[in-house]
Structure formats: C-alpha cells, structure tokens
Amino acid sequence: MNATLSPSTPRDQIVGPFMINYWHLRIDQLLDPPGLRIEGELDVATLPALTWALAEIAGNGDICLDLAALTFIDVGCLRVLVTTAARLADGHVLTLWSASPQLRRLLELLRWHGTPRLRLRSAPLPRRVSA
C-alpha cells in the first residue's frame, strides 16, 4: 500500500512505502533497489519534500535515485543530494540513474562531481520492484 504524504506528515504516521505529490514534484519510494523515483522539478519550493524523502530512506545501505523524469534541479537540491552521498557509511553509495548532461555539468561547475560515495549513471535504472 502506498501512502500519499506531504513533508508535514508526522513520521509516526508512516506505514509502508510512500509517495509524495508536492507542488510540481512526485517522489515514489523504490523497494528494490532501495531508493526514490523523482519526477518533476527540484527547487526551493520542493526542497523540504526531497529532504524528507531522503531522510525516510536513509539507512546503512546504498541509495538509488531514478532521475529519468526529473525536469529541473537547482543548486540547493543538488547540494542535498551531494551531502546525502557524503554522509553515507563507508562502502555505500548514492547512485543517480539517468543523470542528465545538465546535471552532470552543474556538478562539474560546482566541483562536486568527485564527491565520495556519489555515482552518476546516464543509463536508466534497471527496473525491478517499486513500492
């Protein structure tokens, strides 16, 4: 069962996989591999939803983000992704699947492309099971 949430939903009310529809953004939890499917725009208006969703799936393992339907990302949201990767435990990675050339270029311009535990893949996320 998917729960439709907003960033103001108390954590103790969350049971099972989640989906966020917030402004011009949709985030679906992925189960296998663990991560998020992000559709729409990541900007100052949707930053709280992104931060919340990443906190919900953060654990001791790898994280995959399917960005195939991402249409825009600003520097603030990109910083959240980079920070999340840098905070992962040793041996684990945050993989950005379907990373656009624009996203890659922004990482290079900001000199964040070498962030430890951050992996970029231009290929689509191999499909398995989503929530």
> What are the two backbone dihedrals, phi and then psi, of residue 13, each rounded to the nearest 5 degrees?
-95, 5
Has residue 4 got a pLDDT over 90? no
CATH domain 3-7+14-130 topology: Transcription Regulator spoIIAA (3.30.750)
Burial call 47-56: b when 16+ CB within 10 Å, e when fewer = bebbbbbbeb
Q: What is the pLDDT of residues 32-48, one digit of tens each?
A: 889 999 999 999 999 99
pTM value > 0.85: no
- List pLDDT tens digits, range 59-115: 879 999 999 999 999 999 999 999 999 999 999 999 999 999 999 999 999 999 999
pLDDT of amino acid 8: 55
Q: Which residue has better confidence, 15 or 8? A: 8
Q: What share of the chain is helix, strand, coil (3-state, %, to 5)?
A: 25, 35, 40
Taking residues 113-125, report their average pLDDT. 95
